[in-house]
Amino acid sequence: MSPSADFLGRDVVSARDFKRDQFEEILLGVEDLEKNRGSLDGALKGKLAALLFFEPSTRTYSSFQIAAEKLGMRVSGFAGPTGSSITKGETLHDTLRMFEGYGADVFVVRHSKMGAARFAAEISDTPVISAGDGSREHPTQAMVDLYAIRKAFGRIDGLKVGMLGDLRYGRTSSSLAYALSNFDVDITFIAPEALQMRPEVTQLLKQRGVTPKKESALKSVAGDLDVLYVTRIQKERIPDPTEYERVKGMYEVNLEALRDAKPSLKVLHPLPRVDELSTDIDETNYAQYFVQAAGGLPLRMVLLNLILGGAR
């Protein structure tokens, strides 16, 4: 299978810009790469990836960096604002323009502002891949998540997926919800009211005919789920500290919380975790998050290769 023209030179700013067959093409590519490790090594030799991380990142930056290097690309840019001209006040606009002048073939951009990825894609003729923009979206993480789900079940259709934690400010959850809306899945958002999914996300899902259920506690739905996608509740996001203390225990996933779960349940987490996901899950069949994390590298290699039209 050769890369489809759908991907050549395209931007990746939102998971909702992708259709089912495009997600499937990416997932098949990752599966293929995992079977034939090394098959894409050097495929983009001589091209330049500019990784522009206006917000600090360790794992997403590293996975893009290693992916680009394995593809034979040269890598330039910065892993956070410290030590870059961002601290001097250089704008996203000017930074992109500058790196475009240096001959970048692709931009990977992380920014703290919502919508920064779409803006970057508008001002640049070079393809832009979002590595997260504020609390809006993190589309490549959603692709990683889809891959982990498919790897566990061999399919995505027909599954019941619960998304738990800080759905309002967590950028991975909105992207995953958009991605899942292309499949025949049953989605439940599990969060305290203050951290339920943003209205614009539910509105966009509604336009696609998807109306996720909403729950305030894991307990009531744990037994029904095939996939539990856990995200962290950040203390600073809840205005009232006593409210935080009240709710945090309700969203901690440990063996006790999964007492009624199906034996086939898979727990996903975009990582890093703090205390919302207990290590007592790690050695159980529920844990899919390390498999999920390992998919990040091949997925980003496949995506870069599809966009830049490398050899296969």
Partner 1 sequence: MLVSRIEEGTVIDHIPDWKADIASRVLRLDKLAKMQADVSVVILQNVSSRRLGRKDIIKIDRWHVDEKDADILSLVFPNITVNYIDEGKVSKYQPKVPDSIEGRIRCPELNCISNTEREPVIPKFATLKRERLLQCHYCDALLAFDSVPEYVRP
* Interface with partner 1 (CB under 8 A): 89, 91-93, 111-116, 118-119, 133-136, 199-201, 203-204
245 pairs with which residues across the strands? none
Q: Check 47, 60, 111, 168 and give the catalytic one.
A: 60
Residue indicated by tokens 């090594």: 41
Known catalytic membership, residue 60: yes
110 is catalytic: yes
Closest to partner 1 by CB, 64 vs 169, is 169
- Please give the structure tokens belonging to residue 227: 């996939």
Q: What is the rounded CA–CA span in Å between residue 26 and residue 156?
A: 14
Shortest distance in whole angstroms from residue 112 CB to partner 1: 7
* Nearest distance in Å: CB 91, partner 1: 5
Length of the chain: 312
Q: Which of 19, 59, 97, 113 is labelled catalytic?
A: 59
- Asked if residues 124 and 153 have their Cβ atoms less than 8 Å apart, the reply is no
* Closer Cβ to partner 1, 126 or 288, answer by number: 126
Which residues are bridge partners to 107 per DSSP?
50, 128
* Paired tokens of 15: 């998971």
Smallest gap from Cβ 117 to partner 1, in A, equals 9
d(CA 248, CA 269): 17
Query: Quick one: 91 or 285, whose CB is closer to partner 1?
Result: 91
C-alpha 238/C-alpha 219 separation (Å) is: 21
Establish whether 88 is a catalytic residue: yes
Nearest to 249 by CA among 219, 284, 290: 219
Give the nearer residue to partner 1 in terms of CB position, either 157 or 200: 200
| Closer Cβ to partner 1, 111 or 300, answer by number | 111
Question: Any idea which residue has 């990142």 for tokens?
Answer: 57
150 in active site: no
Helix (H), strand (E), coil (C) string for 231-276? CCCCHHHCCCHHHHHHHHHHHCECCCCCCCCCCCCEEECCCCCCCC
Rounded to 10 degrees, what is the CA torsion of 157, 159, 165, 167?
Answer: 30
Catalytic residue among 110, 151, 171, 266: 110
Minimum distance of partner 1 from residue 201's CB (angstroms): 8
Continuous segment of H or E residues that includes residue 243 = helix 241-248
Catalytic residue list contains 111 = no
Quote the least distance from Cβ 174 to partner 1, whole Å.
9
Q: How far is the CB of 135 from partner 1 (least distance, A)?
A: 7
Strands of 48-53's sheet in order across: 74-78, 48-53, 106-111, 128-133
Dihedrals phi, psi of 28, to nearest 5 degrees: -65, -40
Q: Which is nearer to partner 1, 89 or 249 (CB)?
A: 89
- Residues marked active site are found at 59-60, 88, 110, 138
